[in-house]
A = this chain, B = another copy of it.
Amino acid sequence: MTVRKITIADAAFEPSPGQDADIQQGNVIDQRHGGPVTIGYGRYGANQRIDEHIKVDDIMLILEGQITVSSDAGTETAGPGEIIYMPKGSSLSIGAGAEGAVTAYVTYPHWQEAIDG
């Protein structure tokens, strides 16, 4: 691996697995590239929500709109430039507001391998 610039145009968006909301994510860097982390972008339609038990550490930075995450720790809403840190093992609900949302994410380790494993 070498130093690489990543933009949202590099993301091949696809529906998030296990749900039928209008929520898509596109990995740009993942297990195919040999490093320890997955890097990608996410898109949430207006008022769309997903419930998840996450099997990796997931760091989500909001680029546009607002994201609300509810978990045992309470409910947090984040906007542009803010981050939601979701440690491995968290059970949570991730939802966008009326304007939808665009996010960037980093997971350690690779979330697709954790789901398959």
Contacts and interface: CB of A to CB of B under 8 A. Distances in A.
A108 B6 contact: no
A63 to B, nearest CB: 5
A99 interface: no
Given A59-B106, A106-B37, A3 B82 contact: no
A116 interface: no
A58 B61 CA distance: 15
A40 to B, nearest CB: 10
28 contacts: A1-B87, A2-B72, A3-B71, A3-B74, A3-B85, A3-B86, A3-B87, A3-B90, A3-B92, A4-B73, A4-B76, A4-B84, A4-B85, A5-B78, A5-B84, A6-B83, A6-B84, A7-B81, A7-B83, A29-B85, A35-B57, A36-B57, A37-B59, A37-B108, A39-B83, A59-B106, A63-B81, A81-B104
